[in-house]
Amino acid sequence: MSIEVGTKLEGKVTGITHFGAFVDLSGGVTGLVHISEIADNYVKDVNDHLKIGDVVTVKVINVDKDGKIGLSIKQAVDKPVEATNTRPPRAPRSDRPGGRDGDRPGGGFNRDRGGRPFKPQPNKASFEDKVSRFLKDSEERISSLKKNTEGKRGGRGAKRM
């Protein structure tokens, strides 16, 4: 019997390890069901789902050149198509009201900027103005970080009591 990828077969569990279960397909051909392919939910212990001697339906997911056969129990189970996508599709961010932080009046909170309120800047600022503003902002941040960490670690020049 030729074993091809995608075929569903019945087999008997012959061995259980911490990483999966060995399944005897037929004619002495054995494949491995990896622990991630046993069930749709998280499998902590293979013994909770399978026992030696259980007859299971498996799907062949790969056949290596050296003869190793990869099997899956969860892919062998036919799932209803409608249950996978029950939510209606969402509108793109730009179409939703208040989609972006800059679209809201007065800005909003932008998590990419550390939770600080976003203040839209006029586009007429020159490159030099933008760089100087960035340097000033980053120097303020660095100085506040240094103030907060030097006292805790006993860094350069910190007074110990």
Query: Does residue 127 fall inside a structural domain?
Result: yes
pLDDT of residue 77: 85
pLDDT of residue 21: 95
pLDDT of residue 83: 53
Pairing of strands 29-34, 20-26: antiparallel
pLDDT of residue 145: 85
CA 121, CA 97: separation in Å to the nearest integer?
Answer: 22
- The series of mean pLDDT values per 10 residues for the chain, 161 residues long, is 83 94 89 93 92 93 91 85 63 59 51 60 76 92 83 60 53
Query: Does residue 57 fall inside a structural domain?
Result: yes
Q: In DSSP terms, which residues pair with 26 in a beta bridge? A: 29
Q: Which amino acid is at 114?
A: G
Q: Which residues lie closer than 8 Å to 114 by C-beta, 6 or more apart?
A: none
> Which residue among 56, 72, 88 closes a domain?
72
pLDDT of residue 127: 87
CA 21, CA 33: separation in Å to the nearest integer?
Answer: 5
Tell me the HSE value of 36 on the side-chain side, using a 13 A CA sphere: 2
Instruction: Count how many domains the chain has.
Output: 2
Please measure the distance between the N-terminal and C-terminal CA atoms of the chain and give it in whole angstroms: 81
Query: Does residue 40 fall inside a structural domain?
Result: yes
CATH classification of the domain holding 42:
2.40.50.140
Pairing of strands 29-34, 69-72: parallel
Query: Does residue 159 fall inside a structural domain?
Result: no
pLDDT of residue 85: 59
pLDDT of residue 50: 92
pTM score above 0.85 = no
Alpha-carbon dihedral angle through residues 3, 74, 11, 27, given to the nearest 10 degrees:
20
pLDDT of residue 123: 64
Query: Does residue 90 fall inside a structural domain?
Result: no
Query: Does residue 18 fall inside a structural domain?
Result: yes
Left (φ > 0), alpha (ψ -120 to 50) or beta: where does 139 sit?
A: alpha
pLDDT of residue 53: 93
Q: Which domain holds residue 127?
A: 120-151
